[in-house]
Every structure is written in C-alpha cells, then in structure tokens.
Amino acid sequence: MLNRFCRGISIALVIGVISCLGWIICPDQALAVNNPELLPNQATPIVDLANYLPAKQEEALIQDIETFQGETGWKMRVLTQYDRSPGRAVINFWGLDDKSILLVADGRGGNLLSFSIGDAVYEFLPRTFWIELQARFGNMYFVRENGENNAIVQSLDTVKGCLVKGGCAVVPGLPREQWILTLITSIVGGLVFGFAGIPRKEGQVFAWQWVLIVSPLWFILFVAFGIGPVVTRTSELLPLFRNLIGFVLGILVAYLSPRFNSLNASKT
C-alpha cells in the first residue's frame, strides 16, 4: 500500500512539473529520418510497426478515425515504431497539414507518446494540453498497468472529445495521482495558514496579521494548486470536498500543535 502511495506521489509530481512547462516536445527524432519503404502500399490512418494494437482494436480504431475525420475535418494519424522509423516519409504518405494530429508511440524512450501537431490545432488545444496528455497517458506506470494499446486509444479519445466540445485548456478528468498532489498541496497550505495564525502576544487568540502576511503562500498552495486543478478537470464535488477538509485539518494541526506540546511538557 505504501509503495502504491509513493508511486502515486511520484507520478503526480512529474505531471505537475511537466504541466507547468510551456513547450511541447514534438517527435523530432521520429521525423528526422526518411524510410518510405517501411510504409504500407495501401492508404491507412494507422501504421503499427511495433504491433501495439491488436487486430480487432486496430480495425475499430481505423473506422473511428475515418468517421471522425469525415464529420469534423480533423485528420488524426497513428504511427507506432520500435527499431526503425519511416520518419519524414509519413508527411507525404498521409498528407499532413495544419489540421493534422500525428500520434507517435515509441517504446524506446521514457514516455511512450509524442505528438506532431498542425498549427490550426493549437487554437483549440494549447501546447500545455499536449504536454499534460503525454504525461498522463504515456508515462511508464500508466503503460505498464493499461498497455500500449489503451494508452494510444485513450489519448485519442481525449483529443476527439475536446475537439468536439470546441477545445480544452487542460486534459479533462482527474487521475488519482494528480488528485493526491492537489490534496498534499491543500494540506500544506493549511499548515502554513495554521502556523501563521499561532498567537505570538499575551492574550492574542489568533494572529490574523501573520496569516495575511503569508497569504500569497497558502493561497497559492490551496487555491492555485489544490483547488484549481480539480475544478478545471472535473465537475465532481468529492475531491473538492476532500481537499477542503485537508486544508482545514492542516490549519487545526498546525494551530493546535503548541498547545499539545505544552501539555506534554507539563506532564513530564
């Protein structure tokens, strides 16, 4: 149980750090070579060189991609590779343009997924969206538990859902690992609030002036990192309520800690 919790914390920290970056890493290595002989003769939106997709799932995904393109005009393509890559040959093979989304699944790196995005797509899905998408579905823990095929399918489903809605600023849904990070920051924000409020003068009940002085710190921890990621990714109230409880408990623990220490000292 402890190992799962620690693993969840590590994933959440990675997602949080990557989500703060402003640039997406496109699959430059995947497009740096040019091997058209690796591509099939017939037209298909999926080239599964690494055999990540079972036959039936690949057929269903091809149909889904073609239907989505016919209805919306967005061109989604999938390339999986391991030993060798067709590289820049896929540009002419698929006719990639400003409305194209190329997902490259390559198991040789630390993250399975990378994306090459047309300029028109960024109007609806910003760079930070793609970084978070890559971190959520392409990390080694998600791939290990769900498989490469489901990492590909779920990331594509997320993109399609956002494009149908007219765009997304962040990746919808709140994974457990990311919620754990928001809970931790909420508790830490409460601890900062509580420690600041500890009385420092005779007869003082609560040091509001110190709470106000350090308000930027606990406000960022609780509101920006504890509440913001929750309300922007899910409409569920339970994780929001839990974070609020964590914030309040953090305040109580920090504020009451001197009294518990004094009681223990008097007993000894």
pLDDT in tens, 17-53: 444 443 344 454 445 577 889 999 999 999 999 999 9
Q: Which residues in 107-255 belong to E strands, given as ranges? A: 113-117
Query: Span 68-84, mean pLDDT?
Result: 95
H or E stretch at 81: strand 75-81
The three-state secondary structure class of 213 is helix
The three-state secondary structure class of 31 is coil
The three-state secondary structure class of 47 is strand
pLDDT at res. 31: 53
Q: How far apart are the C-alpha atoms of 146 and 141, rounded to whole Å?
A: 8
The three-state secondary structure class of 64 is helix
Does residue 204 carry a pLDDT above 80? yes
96-152 pLDDT, tens per residue? 999 999 999 998 878 999 999 999 999 999 999 999 999 999 999 999 999 999 999
Does residue 90 carry a pLDDT above 50? yes
Find the Cα–Cα–Cα–Cα dihedral 178, 183, 186, 190, rounded to 10°.
-160
Domains annotated on the chain, with CATH: 20-165 (3.10.310.50), 176-267 (no CATH)
Whether 99 contacts 118, CB under 8 Å:
yes
**Considering the chain, what is the average pLDDT of its residues?**
87
Buried b (16+ CB within 10 A) or exposed e, 152-188: bbbbbebbbebbeeeebebbeebbebbbbbbbbbbbb
